[in-house]
Amino acid sequence: MESTSLRPICPVPRSIILAVMTFFSACSAPEGAKEVIPPIERETVTAHASEIEGFRFEVSPPDTVSLQWSGEGSAVVTDIHVSIGQEIGEGDTLFLLLEDIHVVEIERLSMELAMASAMLSSDSLLHMKVDSLTLLLDSLLSNEKTLFLSPVDGTASGILIETDQRIRPGNAVLELSVASSLLFHVFPPDDCTVNFWPSGGSDIRFVEERSGYAVYSGELSAIEVRFSELAAVPRFAVYESELESYVITVDHDTIPVVRTGEKDNNLVIVLPPEPLVSDLRTWAEK
């Protein structure tokens, strides 16, 4: 049998004792002896948002594209509604997905509803909260699955996922053969780097990112309008708040933007909800 013995507690190192004594000595020093840190003076400056010219658009020949999952986080494939060789129309449902962020929100609301129900009394405000939570939870449960829709007409040539598989943003899910010129290749200007290609809208759809360019479907004029909405903004004029980016105009309007890339190493490419027609307000140290 191995014997064990209690080890003596290690004494506090002398360097730590001296550091603590120095700290308390500084705190108790006379008011005049304390170091005064001057406040940082800032001045208001303005920045200009400029248009980005030079995006190039080319009609794609018949091609096979790889559709990718581009949600906010991971998801689990619950149903597959397509088979190899099937003709697919734009907007057809290809898969049903259960997103992790959706599951977390349902669990949070369920816990909040259970706590509110346990405290239920004659308090009318609490009754209203329970009713509101119940309606919200019912709505989430009735729309629990996310529909993965086809962005373009074509023929399914390869199914790259299976039921119950977990996928992450950027994972390829389906190969689609497009027989006609419904696709366009979008190339950025030489002085621009696009990190996140703009999503589609009512008239166009983002299909796939490739090496150095992206593939979109829709009318060419609508695609050109979408990319004319991008703006180059000085890096110091874009503010970050948690997961959001925004700019402030000289009229003190706060406008959310989506950072999509960089230009000339000192400009950030942003996509605002509407074109930026006003100068931007920012600050710099004097």
pLDDT digits 0-9 by tens, 48-79: 888 899 999 999 888 889 999 988 888 989 89
Distance between CA 227 and CA 270 in Å, rounded?
11
Distance between CA 123 and CA 118 in Å, rounded?
13
Q: Give pLDDT tens digits for 7-16.
A: 333 444 444 4
Reduce the DSSP state of residue 247 to 3 states and report it.
strand
Its sign, for the CA torsion 195, 200, 201, 204, is positive
Amino acid at site 229: E
Reduce the DSSP state of residue 14 to 3 states and report it.
helix
DSSP 145: S
Q: Give pLDDT tens digits for 115-136.
A: 777 676 655 566 666 667 677 6
Q: For residue 94, what pLDDT is reported? A: 95
> Does the pLDDT of residue 26 top 70, yes or no?
no
Q: Give pLDDT tens digits for 134-153.
A: 776 666 566 678 889 998 88
Q: CA-based angle 267:270:276, to the nearest 5? A: 100
Q: What is the residue extent of each domain of the chain?
A: 43-53+230-285, 73-180
Token pair of 57 as six digits: 């658009």
Mean pLDDT of 274-278: 84
Q: For residue 214, what pLDDT is reported? A: 93
Cβ contacts of 146 within 8 Å, gap of 6 or more: 71, 75, 96, 97, 98, 99, 102
Neighbour tally for 226: CB within 10 Å: 21
Size of the chain in residues: 286
What's the CATH code, domain 43-53+230-285? Answer: 2.40.420
Nearest C-alpha neighbor of 47 from the set 245, 221, 286, 238? 238
Q: Give pLDDT tens digits for 216-238.
A: 988 899 999 999 999 999 988 89
56 forms beta bridges with 187
Q: For residue 72, what pLDDT is reported? A: 80
Confirm whether pTM is higher than 0.85: no
Cβ contacts of 256 within 8 Å, gap of 6 or more: 244, 245, 246, 272, 273
Nearest C-alpha neighbor of 91 from the set 153, 48, 31, 139? 153
Q: Which residue has the higher pLDDT, 243 or 40?
A: 243
What's the CATH code, domain 73-180? Answer: 2.40.50.100
Q: For residue 105, what pLDDT is reported? A: 77
Token pair of 283 as six digits: 């600050």
